[in-house]
Structure 1
Amino acid sequence: MVVGAATSNPAILIEGNHSSFPNASKPWPQFMLDLKGKKVGVPARGSLMEFILAWMLTKSGMKTDDVTIVAVGGPDTAYGALVSKQVDALMMFDPTGSMCAVLNTCKVVWRAATDPQPAEMYAHNSGGNGIVLTQEFIDRNPHVVDAIISVFKEADAFINNPANFEEVVQITRKYFRLEVPRGDEIIRYSIKLAIDSKNYVARLDRKALQAQLDFMLETKMVDKLPPLSSFVFANAP
């Protein structure tokens, strides 16, 4: 991993308007109790979102058997499953939460990027998705690696400058569209949210990366932890 790209923890817990969530406004872990007996959608069985859901259920004193976990695909199909009442809640990622906010059809209960509890989840922020290259490519093309890091630093500065927000939105619309009602508003809302939560940054927080490794070990996604130096480029920002 040579540079950061989308580094915030993407997980969001979303409730459907059709189901009762009396603890939704209460702090962690009370809001988790509302999931008991409900159908909760995740992108796919065995996905990161399911691991996060299972971890949060356990930490809040519940069991995974207290809910029915359903694979609902990506944000678009997940949103459809929620508003059509096929599931009661989602553990998902944006733009699903932005669709809920703009269209007022569902509600984000918890967002890992901005909610400080549970602390173990919040600790993942600033260590998320980065640009990964093979060691062979790095060794053969050091000048390319330097150029990638440089351009991502420039993009970081551009995106996170409030004066450039409108241009960032326009650039995004050239490459990404939502074919849903008020799609442009949803994209705008999602970009603003991502910028405010420091998602698009070039820096890779080593503490956050270690927190993610610790989570993977705790949830048995891996049997043994590799040292950070084995997969984070020494000159990564």
Structure 2
Amino acid sequence: MRWKKLGIAISAVAVMALGSTHAIAQEKNIVRVHEYPGSIIHIVNWVMRSKGFCAEEGLECQPVYLASAILAMQAAKTEGVDIIVSSLDVMMQAVDKGYELEIIGPYLTNNVYSLSASSEVAATVADKSYPENIEALAGKRIGVVARGGSPEMIARALLAGAGMEQDEVFFVAVGGPATAFAALTAKQVDAIVSWDPVPALCEATKSCAVFADLSRGEGPSDLQAMNGGYVAYYAPSEYLQDNSAIADAFMRAHAQAVKWLQDPQNLSEAKQIVNEQFKLGDDVPDREAVLDQLVQRTIEGYGHNFDRKAVDGFNEFLLSYKLIDKPLAVETIVYDKAP
């Protein structure tokens, strides 16, 4: 077993003095959970710890900060991480290459990406929405996290859904949301495929406009088919074989945290918890309004159940871009007790 017991070390003298009726602190199982540094998507993890939902299940949920799911998978191989968080495309490509992983439960239900264009580009199609607005991107530069990654595949699918050819645009690597937004506002690119807080920043600054928000169910049918289980918790199969009770307890704690977060009466306290963990830059206009929008969007995005049909959607998407060799069966990549 890979979990460690925690307790309060009491000397023999102290035990004798306190007597046999002294209450010993409850032992807790450690579970190491992957988190992306500085990402607001982890509100639920923060609540699990701060509100005691992990402790109620006999767990000590320890965050492990790693910038990518690939790094988290590598850490899991050396027992540095127990539970990983990422979109299914990353996880399923790893499974296709022979890494045995299983989804243990839902995280963010819908696709997290959005395509946003500069205000100048948006002005040319101000009265249009997806897919008609995409025509404004012909001959333009689209920023993505890295060439060949998921955001570029998303951009290509959005273009195809709008009837545009792939060679009608140019892709530029611009990194994550912060650097992508900076590149867009500096006119280094004309549009970006990214994720929160970009939509909120576009609305606050009016420097850009969202052309397609996939978290809201916009975009072509092949992208919508991946909704219902877009981002998930998963773990190595070997870990689950030895620690199924811990995984089950973790998902119960997660369910309680989601329930707590989605109760409007707890919104004010939830914002306080977020403020302890997440900061927007001082240069962000209307910082409080932007943060409120981010908190609301994130809370709304959490799911209670993993929709198995999302696996079929990812299979079709990954196969269409030749990112996996064959479809992956639901029963092989979803833990049998996943909600």
Tell me which interval the TM-score lies in, with the shorter structure as reference length. Answer: over 0.9
| 1:191 alignment partner in structure 2 | 295
TM-score, normalised with respect to structure 1: 0.92
Show CA shifts across 1:133-163 (max 9, x none). 1111111112101111101110111111122
Report SS of the residue matched to 2:280. Answer: coil
Aligned length: 235
Larger radius of gyration: 2
User: After the TM superposition, which residues 97-116 of structure 1 pair with which residues of structure 2 at under 5 Å, given as runs?
Assistant: 97-116=199-218
C-alpha change, 1:142 and 1:2, in structure 2 (3 Å) is same
Name the aligned partner's letter for residue 156 of structure 1: V
Whole-angstrom distance in 2 between the partners of 1:59 and 1:18: 23
Question: Which one of the candidate residues 149, 170, 174 is aligned to 2:251?
Answer: 149
Report SS of the residue matched to 1:174. Answer: helix
Name the aligned partner's letter for residue 48 of structure 1: S
Name the aligned partner's letter for residue 304 of structure 2: A
C-alpha change, 1:16 and 1:201, in structure 2 (3 Å) is same
| 2:144 alignment partner in structure 1 | 42
Name the aligned partner's letter for residue 228 of structure 2: S
Question: Which one of the candidate residues 144, 148, 153 is aligned to 1:51?
Answer: 153
User: After the TM superposition, which residues 138-217 of structure 1 pair with which residues of structure 2 at under 5 Å, given as runs?
Assistant: 138-179=240-281, 180-181=283-284, 182-196=286-300, 199-217=301-319
Contact 1:97 1:108 (C-alpha < 8 Å) held by counterparts: yes
Report SS of the residue matched to 1:81. Answer: helix
Question: Which one of the candidate residues 167, 172, 177 is aligned to 1:75?
Answer: 177
Name the aligned partner's letter for residue 189 of structure 1: Q
Question: Which one of the candidate residues 198, 206, 224 is aligned to 1:96?
Answer: 198
Whole-angstrom distance in 2 between the partners of 1:25 and 1:10: 25
C-alpha change, 1:57 and 1:36, in structure 2 (3 Å) is same
Show CA shifts across 1:204-229 (max 9, x none). 11112321221111122212111011
C-alpha change, 1:122 and 1:24, in structure 2 (3 Å) is farther
Contact 2:106 2:306 (C-alpha < 8 Å) held by counterparts: yes
C-alpha change, 1:4 and 1:20, in structure 2 (3 Å) is closer
Pick 1 or 2: higher relative contact order, CA cutoff 8 A, min separation 6: 1
Report SS of the residue matched to 1:202. Answer: coil
Show CA shifts across 1:15-62 (max 9, x none). 111335533542432111111011111111111110011122123222
Report SS of the residue matched to 2:120. Answer: coil
Report SS of the residue matched to 1:141. Answer: helix
Contact 2:157 2:223 (C-alpha < 8 Å) held by counterparts: no
| Alignment root-mean-square deviation, CA | 1.7
Contact 1:153 1:202 (C-alpha < 8 Å) held by counterparts: yes
C-alpha change, 1:221 and 1:164, in structure 2 (3 Å) is same
Question: Which one of the candidate residues 17, 20, 33 is aligned to 2:119?
Answer: 17
Gaps of 5+ in 2: 1-102
Contact 2:130 2:218 (C-alpha < 8 Å) held by counterparts: no
Whole-angstrom distance in 2 between the partners of 1:108 and 1:214: 26
Question: Which one of the candidate residues 113, 116, 119 is aligned to 2:221?
Answer: 119
